[in-house]
Amino acid sequence: MRSEFVFTRMAEDAAKEVENLKVDGEVADVVNPWEVTTSSATGVDYDKLVERFGSSKIDDELIARIEKVTGKPVHHLVRRGIFFSHRDMHTILTLYEQKKPFYLYTGRGPSSTSLHLGHLIPFIFTKWLQETFNVPLVIQLTDDEKFLWKDLSIDEAYRLARENAKDIIALGFDVNKTFIFSDLEYMGQSRAFYRTVCRVQKCVTFNQVKGIFGFGDSDCIGKISFPAIQAAPSFSSSFPEIFNKKADIPCLIPCAIDQDPYFRMTRDVAPRIGGKKPALLHSMFFPALQGAQTKMSASDPNSSIFLTDTNNQIKNKINKYAFSGGGATVEEHKEKGGNCDVDVSYQYLTFFMEDDAKLAEIKKTYTSGELLTGYLKKELIGILQPLVAAHRERRQKITEEEVTQFMTPRKLIYDY
Ligand code: TRP
C-alpha cells in the first residue's frame, strides 16, 4: 500500500516537473546552477532565456558605448555574442565616465583539481574587464558549496580551492588589484562578511529559495542557506579591508548565465539591506565535446578538455569526440556543406580564435562544403595545444606563497 502511494506520488511529481518546464506549451531548456540541458542540437535558446530571466540583450548600442567609453575595441567574447546578456551595464558605464568607483566579482566552485576550457571563459573575460577598467576584483571560491553538494570532505574542498586559485592566478591577474578567497577560510576571519550573510538570510524565506532554486524538504539546511553566501560578495560592505569601509561601492559580476538565479535573489534583497543591486554580464555555456545540448562538465572527462591534458590527449579528444556538423561522407559534405551552428570545433574556434577575418573565412568555406571537418579540427588543435601548454607552464611556477598572497585580505589599489 505504502510503496504504491510513494510511486504514485513520484509519477505525479515527475509529471509536474515536466509541466513546470513548459513555457508556452513547449518544453523549455533547463538552465540552473546545477544543470544545463536542452533538446536542441544548436544549444540553449538564449533569446528565450533573456525573456524568461528578465535580463537585457547586449545589443549593438551597448557594444558601441563600451567601445566609446573605454576607447578600445570590445573583447571578442562580446563581439561574437558569447557574453550576450546583461543587467544594468549602462549604469556601470556611466559610473566609469564620471570616474566613480566600482568593482568586479566573480567566482568558482572548486569541485575538481583541474579546470577545463569552459571554466576559463569567465576568467579570461574578467581579466580583460579588470585591465580595461582598472578596477579591483574579488574572486569567491565556494569550497563550502562543493562540500555541501558533493561527496567531499572539508579539508579536500579547501585543498581544491587553493589548487584552483593557482589556475586562476596563472591567467595573469594583478595581485595588487585582486583578492581571491575561500569561503571556508574567509567566513571565519571576516566579521563584516558574516554580517552581510546574516542580513541576506533574514530577507529570504524558505518558500522563496524553493521557488528560485528548487530546493526540497530533504535538502540539507546548508544548501538552503548557501545562496546568501554567494550573494554577500556583491556588497562592498563585506570587504572593509579592501574598500576602506565604504559600504556603497557598486559591483559588476561577469558569470555564465546559469548563475543568474543567485543574483536575481541578490538584486531583490539589495535595497532592503541598504546595498546596491549588482550589475551583471552573462555568458553562454561552453559546449561539451559531444554537442551543444549540454555544457562541458568536469565530472565527465570525455566531455571536456582539461588544462592538465597533454597535447596528445587534446588531439585525440577533438578528433574522436568533437561533434561534427559536416556531411557523413566527403561527397555529401562537398554537396551540402557543413553546419557551423552544431559543429563543436567551429564553436570552440569562436571562443578561442582571435583573428576575426580568418574565422569568417573558415565559416564561409566550411558552410559551402569546400573545407572538411578534418581541417577544422586541425585548426582547433593547433590553437588549443599551445594555449593549454602555456597555461600548464605558468601554473607550475605558481608557489604556495603567491597563493597565500592573493588570499590575504588587504587594501586593493584602484586609481582611475
Ligand atoms: N557557484 C559558482 C560555481 O559553482 C561559483 C561562484 C560563486 C560564482 N560566486 C560566483 C560564479 C560569482 C560566478 C560569479 O561555479
Can you give the residue ranges of every domain in the chain? 2-288, 297-396
Ligand 1 centroid distance, CA of 108 (Å): 5
**Tens digit of each residue's pLDDT (9 = 90 or more) over 367-390:** 999 999 999 999 999 999 999 999
Identical fold between 2-288 and 297-396: no
Phi-psi region of 155 (alpha: psi -120 to 50; beta: other; left: phi over 0): alpha
For residue 27, the one-letter residue type is V
Mean pLDDT over the full length of the chain: 91
> Probe ligand 1: pick from 105, 112, 115, 140, max atoms within 8 Å of CB?
140
Q: Check residue 41 and give its pLDDT.
A: 83
Among protein residues, the one with the nearest Cα to ligand 1's atom 10 is 107
What does the block give as the cell for 405? 598572497
Q: Is the pLDDT of residue 4 over 90?
A: no
Ligand 1 centroid distance, CA of 316 (Å): 31
Residue 301 confidence class, pLDDT cut points 50, 70, 90: confident
Ligand 1 centroid distance, CA of 15 (Å): 31
Question: CB neighbours of 111 closer than 8 A, spacing ≥ 6?
Answer: 146, 150, 152, 160, 298, 299
| Mean pLDDT, rounded, for 356-367 | 96
Ligand 1 centroid distance, CA of 357 (Å): 34
Among protein residues, the one with the nearest Cα to ligand 1's atom 4 is 109
Among protein residues, the one with the nearest Cα to ligand 1's atom 1 is 109
Q: Check residue 26 and give its pLDDT.
A: 62
Among protein residues, the one with the nearest Cα to ligand 1's atom 14 is 106
Among protein residues, the one with the nearest Cα to ligand 1's atom 7 is 107
Ligand 1 shell residues, CB under 6 Å? 33, 106-109, 140, 142, 145, 230, 253, 255, 259
What architecture does CATH give domain 2-288? Answer: 3-Layer(aba) Sandwich (3.40)
- 402 CB-contact burial (10 Å; exposed 0-12 / middle 13-18 / buried 19+): middle
> In this structure, are residues 36 and 258 in contact, taking their beta carbons and an 8 Å threshold?
yes
Query: Nearest-CA neighbor of 141 among 157, 124, 122?
Result: 157
| Mean pLDDT, rounded, for 47-64 | 96
| Closest approach atom of ligand 1 to CA 253 | 14
What does the block give as the cell for 82? 558569447
Ligand 1 centroid distance, CA of 388 (Å): 23
Among protein residues, the one with the nearest Cα to ligand 1's atom 5 is 108
Q: Is the pLDDT of residue 19 over 60?
A: no
Residue 213 C-alpha from the chain's centroid: 17
Domain 297-396 has CATH 1.10.240.10: yes
d(CA 37, CA 384): 25
Q: Is the pLDDT of residue 18 over 50?
A: no
**Tens digit of each residue's pLDDT (9 = 90 or more) over 156-165:** 999 999 999 9
Ligand 1 centroid distance, CA of 211 (Å): 20
